[in-house]
Amino acid sequence: MNIVLTGSIGNIGKPLTEELVQKGHSVTVITSTTERVSAIEMLGAKAAVGNMFDVDFLTKTFEGADIVYLMETMEAVGDLFDKSIDFIGEISRIGHNYKKAVERSGVQKIIHLSSIGAHTDKGTGIIVFHYDVEQILRELAEAISIKFIRPVGIYFNLFSMITGIRNKGAIVSNWGGDKKEP
């Protein structure tokens, strides 16, 4: 199969690329930087350098794919601590770009990495963007097969807490004690 992966070769994309290539699939990995091209090629995949805000790039890259794996990353939008960035709005913009590129390219099968909680737009905090993108992708024609994957959690996100666990024996967060953490 000819498979296109968004999300480059981070904690999800790298092992996914390795497994798909090992199983004999032709894999194209979208990356936002030329610095990752050689690492992608060393995995046996083809690199496509561009960004999620360029519908023409996405369309061209999706053309001829049997299946496209879609994911959104905060990294694509900017610094999480930059108060001037509307992360939810920007991620939704990526979702709209994916939808347009799928429609224009003729892709018939999509896998979308979403999140637990994507069934609602209430009480999930910033991850509400998963709900938003799912709703956007659900607007695609019925003939397009979409599989939403909603993992409970991505445990490597906890690695940043290792020092606190070792030093204090606790996981500490700056989330308000009277609020439910999303």
Question: What pLDDT, on a 0 to 100 scale, did the predictor assign at position 173?
Answer: 67
Burial degree of 58 (CB within 10 A; 0-12, 13-18, 19+): buried
| pLDDT for 155 beyond 90 | no
The mean per-residue pLDDT over the stretch 7-26 comes to 94
| pLDDT for 61 beyond 60 | yes
Q: Are 89 and 47 in contact (CB under 8 A)?
A: no
Give tens-digit pLDDT for 75-120: 778 777 788 889 899 999 999 999 999 999 999 999 999 998 899 9
What whole-number distance in Å separates Cα of residue 136 and Cα of residue 97?
A: 10
Question: What pLDDT, on a 0 to 100 scale, did the predictor assign at position 153?
Answer: 67
Please say whether the dihedral angle defined by the alpha carbons of residues 4, 105, 115 and 180, taken in this order, is positive or negative.
Answer: positive
Are β-strands 109-113 and 145-149 bridged in parallel, bridged antiparallel, or unpaired?
A: parallel
The mean per-residue pLDDT over the stretch 1-16 comes to 92
What whole-number distance in Å separates Cα of residue 32 and Cα of residue 129?
A: 21
Q: What is the mean pLDDT of the chain?
A: 90
Helix (H) or strand (E) holding 135: helix 128-137
Give the list of residues 6+ apart from residue 130 with CB closer than 8 angstroms, or none: 114, 115, 117, 118, 124, 150
The 8-class DSSP code of residue 113 comes to E
pTM of the model: 0.84
| pLDDT for 181 beyond 60 | no
Please say whether the dihedral angle defined by the alpha carbons of residues 1, 107, 86 and 135, taken in this order, is positive or negative.
Answer: negative
Q: Are 91 and 136 in contact (CB under 8 A)?
A: no
Predicted confidence band of residue 21 (pLDDT cuts 50, 70, 90): very high
Question: What pLDDT, on a 0 to 100 scale, did the predictor assign at position 159?
Answer: 74
The mean per-residue pLDDT over the stretch 10-19 comes to 92
First to last CA, the chain: 37
The mean per-residue pLDDT over the stretch 49-61 comes to 96
The mean per-residue pLDDT over the stretch 159-163 comes to 77
Question: What pLDDT, on a 0 to 100 scale, did the predictor assign at position 170?
Answer: 81
Virtual CA dihedral for 19, 24, 29, 33, nearest 10 degrees? 90
Task: Set out the domains of the chain in order of their start, with CATH numbers.
Answer: 2-157 (3.40.50.720)
Give tens-digit pLDDT for 30-53: 999 999 999 999 999 999 999 999
Question: What pLDDT, on a 0 to 100 scale, did the predictor assign at position 168?
Answer: 87
Q: At what angle do helices 87-105 and 128-137 cross, to 10 degrees?
A: 20
| pLDDT for 161 beyond 80 | no
What whole-number distance in Å separates Cα of residue 48 and Cα of residue 105?
A: 15
